[in-house]
Each structure stands twice: as C-alpha cells, then as structure tokens.
Structure 1
C-alpha cells in the first residue's frame, strides 16, 4: 500500500510516491495506491498532465503503469471535499473510504508507505 497525501503543493514528495508505486508494480508487487489530500486532483482526467517536476517521469505515464497491474483508489472524504464523484475520475480509479483502506492495510502481506 502506498498512500500519497501530497500534490502540486509538495511536488517532490508527490512524484516519489508515484515513482515508487510504478517501480513496485513493474517489479511484480501487488500495489494498492491511495490518492488523498491534494493528490486527489490527479484522479481527474488531464490533471496529472499539468504536473511538472524537472527530472521526474510524467505523472500520466506513472498512473498508466500503476493501473496496468495495480489499483488506484481515491479517498471518499477527499473526493467529497473536492466535489469529485465516481463519474468524474479516470476509468479504473475507484473511490473508497477508510474501511477499505484498513482492510487492505491489515491483509497478511501488507506493507504501507505514506508520502
């Protein structure tokens, strides 16, 4: 599990989370990637393309890589605070809350990273 709370407000921390998740997926790790706080905006089509950080992989490419073999979840409360609904998000991104997060965190082989 990787939970990212940072967005454009903390670009290096945000990019690190996406990079670690995509590398983990490419390495065969089952990744559950959670968008919370300011990173919630990246669940919307086109928003990741607006993110820029020198010497970092483009977020749209990292999102595609994560979704290829992992899953991306947008926090329910974070989505609600931003008036984001399931119809608004990129196909394949789900909206779920704390109960699902805790279930995944307590899975037998789960390890969590928070950015």
Structure 2
C-alpha cells in the first residue's frame, strides 16, 4: 500500500522551528518512498520565490534549500492561491515546479483515500 502525506506549512521565519520541522518531515517522507504534497501557506509562501529558502537559517537543522529541492524533485510543492495574492506573488515569480492552487485542490488532496495530512 502506497502512503500519501500532505503537509501544510503555515510558518516561515516568524516560527523557524515549526517551519523547519514541516520541511524536514515532508522530505523524510519523500526519502521513505511516500507520495508527498507540501503546501506553502502564510509566511512560508515566501519560500516559493527563488533564493528565499537560502535566507532561512536555523542552527542544527537541515538547510531549507536542500529540503525544498528534494521535495521539488520527488514530491509536489504548492503555493496557496490567496497567500500568493496577498504577497503579490504570481506564477511567473515562483521557483519552477511550484504550482499555485487553492482550497478546492487542498481539500481534494486531503480527502483522498489513504491520505494523512499534517499542519505546521
């Protein structure tokens, strides 16, 4: 049975430990063979922009750019539509591979059979 994990990260530099934990859990799940969808919402929306993850620093944590790269390579990364709009982030602004989608897509993903959802 394949496992699917949806991780919604609401924190960014405002709550670095919570943010790092979300990326770490999602990346670990990818490395274990799970299907992973990471949602960037709230302050984590800024990490959809090129170079922004490199500005994140948390002692004793894996580098955020590395975690994001692993998720882009083997998972799905989504930027919340409303969060993007509030920050004036458009489709041409985000890192290639990041999609912008809204609540309907999030609900569809999380209500699918066999899905575990976590919110940080």
TM-score where L is the length of structure 2: 0.95
> Bigger CA drift: 33-42 or 64-73?
64-73
Answer 1 or 2: which has greater strand percent: 2
- Hey, what does 1:62 align to over in structure 2? 67
Cα distance between partner residues in 2 of 1:96 and 1:109: 21
Gaps of 5+ in 2: 1-5
Q: Matched residue of 2:46: which SS?
A: helix
What do you get for the CA RMSD once the two structures are aligned?
A: 0.4
Q: Which runs of 5+ in 1 are unaligned?
A: none
1:19-98 alignment runs, 5 A limit: 19-98=24-103
Provide the TM-score with structure 1 as the length reference: 0.99
SS at match of 1:95: strand
TM-superposed CA distance for 1:69, in Å, is 1.1
How many residue pairs match? The answer is 115
CA distance in 2, matches of 1:94, 1:68: 14
Q: Distance in 2 between matches of 1:113 and 1:49?
A: 24
- SS at 2:116 equivalent: coil
